[in-house]
Amino acid sequence: MKFIKTPVKGMCDMLPADMRMREHVLGMIKESYAKYGFMQIETPVMEHIENLTSKQGGDNEKLIFKVMKRGADLQRAIDSGNQEFADNGLRYDLTVPLARYYANNKENLPTPFKALQIGNVWRADKPQKGRFRQFTQCDIDILGDDTNLAEIELIAATSDMLSQIFAEVGISEFTIHINDRRILSAIALQAGFKEEEIPSVLISLDKFDKIGLDGIHAELVENGYGEDIVECYLSVYKATESVDCAAFCSNISEKFLERSVIQNVEEIISCAKAMISDQVTISFDPTLVRGMGYYTGPIFEVSINGYNFSIAGGGRYDKMIGKFSGQDVHATGFSIGFERIITILKDKMDNGAKLGTDNLAILIAKDVPLDKKIALFKEAKTLREDGTVVTIQPMRKNVKQQITKLENEGFNNFRKIYKD
């Protein structure tokens, strides 16, 4: 059988330099979020297929890596003519597992519960640049808090974390966009769309940055919506730059939108501003949609100049956990685009994350006597106890090339040991 040395399509090998950077960033994320009281948890990489196909994951449910039933269970499914041969699947995000986790463990958890979850997820997506089938997600969530303190804490904590990470590559400015799904729904209802049509309308609005109002107009009409309704709907979005929430929503009837929703968004923005760096912009963005259908209130996203993707996003999803436990739980979350952050850092760093200045490579020639080796091993033990990174290697014939490779791995101190 042929041995294939390349990874499975859509998955990547991680070289030492890659892992050094990833572990460095993960360490900063954990340390930063711990200061805000978030507690790290872990859920299994495999979930019940019923949970993964609960219609809470949007298009991600089409991308599940399913795990077949085994043994007698599989045979029974085949014999019965059952077309579902899977009983489990690899998780496609961390939110669905969190919902199950909380429903199962809530009696042993504090209220509100501030969770930090980091782990790999899998999606049977079409691989392309920056899009993989296995990748790391990093989520923070606050469960059991029905106030906007949850949104404020999530935004402040994430802004603080991103500011620390990007400071290492000279980036201090990024933008936090905020909107509310209830505002999006109110605009559509007032224009004349039916409740059940709103998800389809928002899918088109979500393309605002890519196709603009003209493109959205054409798409909605093509989808069968009346010209008058589409014109009325999009007229609200003709002036969206530098507009505050109250001004934007001033023409939305209270029949469709409670004034408390507007006040809530403005409170989140003003309170978060008091906690984040002055160089970070936080503003109301009426065209922000967020693709997941489970959001029920405020939504937010983070973008950075020069990149056409968001680096973090989330919102309130008060109805999702109840789908599993039978009892609704107030919930708000922020998902950090870990892989995208790594992409930006790689763009800005010349040689990736370094080991630090306290490191030493000891290269030992082939004929060095045993007593001298033992002395070196004892010295290395003492140096490691004092915090120095020490690697001991046999000296190669081409020692210059050996040193160059070690330098590329972050070593900058060397000792070459010969017989005499």
Residue numbers in the known binding site are 93-95, 123, 137, 141, 290, 294-295
**Most distant CA atoms of the chain, gap in Å:** 91
Could you tell me which residues are beta bridge partners of residue 47? 89
How far is it, in rounded angstroms, from Cα 57 to Cα 73?
A: 27
How far apart CA 15 and CA 57 sit, in angstroms, is: 32
User: Is 64 exposed, middle or buried, given 0-12, 13-18 or 19+ CB atoms closer than 10 A?
Assistant: buried
| Cβ–Cβ under 8 Å, residues 366 and 394 | yes
In which residue are the tokens 């998800």 written? 199
HSE-CB of 342 using CA atoms within 13 angstroms: 20
CA dist 237 and 36 (Å) reads: 36
Dist. CA 190–CA 334, nearest whole Å:
30
Give the CA distances from residue 327 to residues 56, 145, 246, 321, 331, in Å, rounded to whole numbers and listed in that order.
16, 14, 33, 7, 12
Backbone angles phi, psi at 222, to 5 degrees: -60, -30
Query: Binding-site residues for L-histidine, please?
Result: 93-95, 123, 137, 141, 290, 294-295
- Alpha-carbon distance values, 351 to 21, 95, 156, 400, 407 (Å): 10, 34, 31, 19, 10
